[in-house]
Chain A
Amino acid sequence: MKAPWLWLLAACAMAVCATAGALFLGEVMGMTPCSLCWYQRIFMFPLAIVLPMACYAGDRRGAVYALPLAAGGTLAAIYHTLLLAGIVPKAWVPCGAGASCADQRLLILGGVPIPWLSLAAFLVILGSLALYLKKTSP
């Protein structure tokens, strides 16, 4: 991609789609988010606001502000993925009476675990933002 803006657009599209997807699972399909999912939502939802604004205005600083959110979300998603894979011991799960974070029913689209989708989305956003920032660095 020649125009660096397209990288910003890619991050923006990913964030908006991921937010819509998370809201669909939670509000329409009625799946209760576990506490780790909530942390990932906390990082993702602001991205869906900040990145379209940055993209619309062509504002580089928007990407700067979005970067820590993407990084935090990536960490949470990595932890969740490891938990699901059984690499992180289940005793560490910070979930109480709510939905279990290690629940195997977190599967959609014929068996894709939701935390994988979350991790992929955060990685796409993180990578696109990093590229965008690098290409536009003054």
Chain B
Amino acid sequence: MNTRKLIVLGLVALVLLAFALGTQVYQRQTQQAQADKVAQETERLVRMHAPVLGPQNAPVTIVEFFDPACETCRAFYPLVKELLQRYPDDVRLVIRYAPLHQGSDQVVRLLEAAKRQGRYWPVLEAVLAAQPLWADHGQPNVELAFEAAAQTGLLDMARVRADAGSEAVTAILQQDIADLTTLGVNKTPTFFVNGRPLSTFGADPLTALVAEEVAKNRTGLEKGKKMSL
């Protein structure tokens, strides 16, 4: 192989390497910036109005910025539920809305209206199950989401329609959007486990981070017990 060929290969390899390194550095920086922001404004992670699954006073809190029209959120839902089942006493899930898709805000309104009837989680699951039907990103058909919610048979749909348009629900949407803007959340789902963002996005990093926080908390408790003994 002559020098010229080596130079071309070297050039391409160098650029690829620079790209990979640059990506790592950039991601680390943005993550650190977000972690700092979250540390400064912890009140923006969990709000009183936010739906909670799991024990209210659980030591580990997963905050999920969630978009009902987002396929990845749909794919992650079973995983997050499994984490809650694995650590029934340690972990709770807090849902915050990030209605980044067209029509998502209407579906968030539907969910919040269902919450007012105490049917939040079954309706959320029905809406997610029907997501491929209503959440075409070009032309979302929000009516189909409402139909899916009605088919659960759990809701007084007239009340749902009234509540969905209420000012209280509008205020929740506005608060969540203000929080996600401040925290720099621009993708869904975005997870924070006890305020810590994922190092890289994925199911395994989420599972690992939750396990780490649970373990941290349990050893903390044991130490506390020994101290009291």
Q: Contacting B8 at CB < 8 Å: which of A9, A23, A24, A29?
A: A9
B residues with CB within 8 A of A: 4-5, 7-9, 11-12, 15-16, 18-19, 22-23, 26-27, 186
The 3 A-B residue pairs with the shortest CB-CB distance, nearest first, are: A56-B8, A55-B8, A20-B19
Instruction: List 17 other contacts, CB 8 Å, given A5-B4, A16-B11, A29-B26.
Output: A9-B8, A9-B11, A12-B11, A20-B16, A20-B19, A24-B22, A24-B23, A24-B26, A28-B26, A30-B186, A52-B8, A52-B11, A52-B12, A55-B4, A56-B4, A56-B8, A56-B9
Proximity bits, A35-72, B CB within 8 Å = 1, else 0: 00000000000000000100110100000000000000
Proximity bits, A15-35, B CB within 8 Å = 1, else 0: 011001001100011100000
Cross-chain contact B22 with A12 (CB below 8 angstroms)? no
Question: What is the CB-to-nearest-CB distance from B166 to chain A, in angstroms, rounded to a whole number?
Answer: 29
Cross-chain contact B8 with A17 (CB below 8 angstroms)? no
- Chain B residues lying within 8 Å of A12, measured Cβ to Cβ, are 8, 11
Cross-chain contact A20 with B8 (CB below 8 angstroms)? no
Provide the bound-state CA to CA distance between A105 and B142, in Å. Answer: 34
Cross-chain contact A28 with B11 (CB below 8 angstroms)? no
Provide the bound-state CA to CA distance between A88 and B35, in Å. Answer: 42
Q: Is A13 an interface residue (CB 8 A)?
A: yes
- Chain B residues lying within 8 Å of A16, measured Cβ to Cβ, are 11-12, 15
Q: Contacting A20 at CB < 8 Å: which of B4, B18, B27?
A: B18
- Chain B residues lying within 8 Å of A24, measured Cβ to Cβ, are 19, 22-23, 26
Cross-chain contact A13 with B4 (CB below 8 angstroms)? no
Question: What is the CB-to-nearest-CB distance from B117 to chain A, in angstroms, rounded to a whole number?
Answer: 36
- Chain B residues lying within 8 Å of A30, measured Cβ to Cβ, are 186
Cross-chain contact A28 with B27 (CB below 8 angstroms)? yes
Provide the bound-state CA to CA distance between A55 and B8, in Å. Answer: 7
Q: Contacting A23 at CB < 8 Å: which of B12, B19, B26?
A: B19
